């Protein structure tokens, strides 16, 4: 047009909560493929989703990005989305690893969780997705778990993701995280998203 702008409108896809309510992994795969097609058309290589965090409170400002309070439902539905997206040669990024269930003071929040609850509830969806769809990317979370910032914790970033779940893809930090670069690298990250503490 005269201003030099092109029509860059996008499709408004339903929230993942609505998708999960279908109980259909076939619908999830079609959903993922449709998003992948649109991303490929727009020459995008990476999709920052799907989110598989667990519903813990209705006050979480990003519940619409997540599937369910059930890790099995979340894992199965997200696996199908990832397969659909990556069928279009677009990387899916499963997020936010892990126990990221609040937006309130999200850079400082501390999820106090037992080891059993971590593996049976908060990490189970990630494990399912990694084993059934091999996402090309995983994004870590802002929060702390039992007092340690997740993205700086080698026990989770390397011990769980790489060793326990046998993940081979890219591990990235979240945007705007105030974590220390060196600690993220030491924990096992491959990619630092913008901002952080370069002095560390």
Which tokens go with 48? 């920052």
User: Can you tell me whether residue 149 is helix, strand or coil?
Assistant: strand
**Total Cβ atoms within 10 A of residue 33:** 19
Give the whole-angstrom CA distance, residue 132 versus residue 118: 20
- Whole-number Å distance between alpha carbons of 17 and 63: 8
As a whole number of angstroms, the distance between CA 82 and CA 92 comes to 6
Backbone dihedral angles phi then psi of residue 123, each to the nearest 5 degrees: -105, -10
Phi, psi dihedrals of residue 2, rounded to the nearest 5°: -65, -30
Say which DSSP state 157 is in: I
Catalytic-labelled residue, pool 1, 8, 25, 174: 174
174 belongs to the catalytic site: yes
Catalogue the active-site residues: 174
């Amino acid at each position: 047009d005269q201003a030099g702008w092109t029509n860059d409108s996008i499709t408004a896809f339903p929230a993942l909560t609505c998708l999960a309510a279908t109980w259909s992994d076939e619908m999830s795969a079609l959903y993922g493929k449709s998003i992948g097609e649109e991303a490929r058309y727009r020459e995008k290589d990476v999709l920052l989703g799907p989110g598989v965090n667990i519903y813990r409170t209705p006050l979480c400002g990003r519940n619409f990005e997540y599937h369910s309070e059930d890790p099995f439902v979340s894992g199965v539905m997200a696996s199908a989305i990832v397969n659909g997206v990556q069928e279009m040669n677009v990387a899916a990024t499963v997020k936010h690893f892990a126990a990221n269930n609040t937006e309130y003071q999200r850079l400082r929040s501390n999820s106090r969780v037992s080891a059993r609850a971590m593996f049976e509830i908060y990490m189970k969806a990630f494990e399912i997705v990694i084993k059934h769809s091999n996402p090309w990317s995983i994004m870590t979370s802002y929060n702390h778990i039992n007092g340690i910032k997740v993205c700086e914790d080698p026990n989770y970033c390397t011990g769980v993701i790489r060793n326990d779940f046998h993940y081979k893809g890219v591990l990235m930090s979240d945007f705007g995280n105030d974590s220390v670069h060196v600690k993220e690298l030491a924990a096992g990250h491959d990619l630092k998203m913008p901002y952080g503490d370069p002095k560390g």
